[in-house]
């Protein structure tokens, strides 16, 4: 799974070419034990497409939105009216996330210049569209935020907890996307996902239940887990792989019981 998301009613405009290029470059660099910071990559839209208007320090330029190739020579920001894509220019050349990123890196440089050894300094993470990445960390905690950097309540976990492993916050982000769709336009799949529950780390809860059935899903994308029994009557919940493994993965069953008290109360012999 790579960067880029949109509601299904806007999916016809998605080509994800920008995020694909970023992913391919990163895959190549990872072979050299290196990765590229999104801050230094070309700007993508939130749906993974190329932004036509690009900014690089004090210069701006236009790119082909299907290939990312530069269409015109870069000009100084003060001369941006010379560009054919000037109408695509953002209101601000730098986003709030990018501004915080720059301020943090400047602070680190200042401390190092003063002779300080800087370790474990948490720098804001930005996505390739300039917004805040879903997972942010501060001191000993990591948590989920929306694109504006606002924290999702109840998603903060200790970095040393099992819940912090592979924390991606896709569930809380995608629930917000669903809420932006007019309910009159919901299809059957949207109605299903709207009922999904999120784990404390913002991923999908691996066990999903409705009034009539329970099943296992992938914690990252919420798709049905094919490696275990897919669906079952709530009374057969103890046979589901995700239920059996939950305590081992997250330490206890308390959160499941808090999430599905009515469903799990059907079975008195299931251990809490």
| Structural domain spans, the chain | 205-272
173 vs 148: CA distance, rounded Å? 12
As a residue count, the chain comes to 272
User: What's the pLDDT score for residue 225?
Assistant: 85
The CA-based angle 178-94-126, given to 5 degrees, is 50
User: What's the pLDDT score for residue 31?
Assistant: 79
β-bridge mates for residue 157, sequence order: 142
User: What's the pLDDT score for residue 108?
Assistant: 94
Structure tokens at 112: 């190092």
**Three-state secondary structure string covering 87-139:** HHCCCCCCCHHHHHHHHHHHHHHHHHHCCCCCCCCCCCCECCCCCECCEEEEC
User: What's the pLDDT score for residue 263?
Assistant: 67
User: What's the pLDDT score for residue 265?
Assistant: 63
> Which of 126, 108, 125, 105 shows the shortest CA–CA distance to 117?
108
User: What's the pLDDT score for residue 194?
Assistant: 87
User: What's the pLDDT score for residue 125?
Assistant: 94
70 vs 222: CA distance, rounded Å? 37
User: What's the pLDDT score for residue 193?
Assistant: 84
User: What's the pLDDT score for residue 49?
Assistant: 94
User: What's the pLDDT score for residue 42?
Assistant: 85
Q: Each residue's pLDDT tens digit in the chain (272 positions)?
A: 889 988 777 788 899 999 998 898 888 877 777 777 777 788 999 999 999 999 988 899 999 888 888 998 899 999 999 999 999 998 888 899 999 999 999 999 999 999 999 988 999 999 999 999 999 999 999 999 999 999 999 999 999 988 998 999 999 999 998 888 888 778 877 888 888 999 999 999 999 988 778 889 999 999 988 766 667 777 778 888 888 888 888 777 888 888 887 666 655 555 55
User: What's the pLDDT score for residue 201?
Assistant: 95
164 vs 203: CA distance, rounded Å? 10
β-bridge mates for residue 54, sequence order: 61
User: What's the pLDDT score for residue 264?
Assistant: 64
């Amino acid at each position: 799974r790579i960067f880029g998301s949109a509601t299904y009613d806007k999916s016809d405009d998605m080509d994800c070419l920008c995020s694909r290029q970023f992913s391919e470059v990163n895959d190549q660099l990872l072979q050299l034990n290196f990765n590229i910071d999104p801050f230094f990559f070309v700007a993508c839209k939130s749906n993974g497409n190329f932004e036509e208007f690009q900014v690089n320090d004090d210069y701006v330029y236009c790119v082909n939105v299907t290939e990312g190739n530069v269409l015109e020579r870069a000009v100084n920001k003060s001369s941006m009216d010379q560009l054919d894509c000037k109408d695509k220019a953002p209101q601000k050349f730098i986003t709030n996330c990018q501004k915080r990123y720059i301020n943090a890196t400047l602070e680190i440089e200042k401390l190092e210049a003063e002779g300080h050894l800087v370790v474990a300094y948490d720098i804001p993470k930005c996505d390739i569209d300039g917004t805040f990445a879903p997972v942010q960390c501060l001191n000993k905690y990591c948590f989920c935020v929306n694109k504006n950097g606002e924290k999702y309540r109840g998603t903060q976990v200790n970095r040393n907890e099992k819940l912090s492993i592979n924390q991606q916050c896709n569930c809380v982000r995608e629930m917000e996307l669903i809420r932006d769709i007019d309910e009159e336009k919901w299809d059957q799949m949207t109605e299903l996902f709207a009922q999904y529950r999120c784990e404390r780390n913002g991923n999908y809860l691996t066990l999903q239940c409705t009034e009539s059935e329970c099943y296992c899903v992938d914690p990252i994308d919420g798709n049905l887990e094919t490696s275990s029994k897919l669906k079952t009557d709530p009374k057969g919940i103890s046979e589901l792989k995700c239920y059996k493994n939950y305590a081992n993965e997250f330490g206890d069953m308390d959160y499941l019981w808090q999430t599905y008290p009515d469903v799990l109360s059907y079975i008195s012999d299931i251990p809490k």
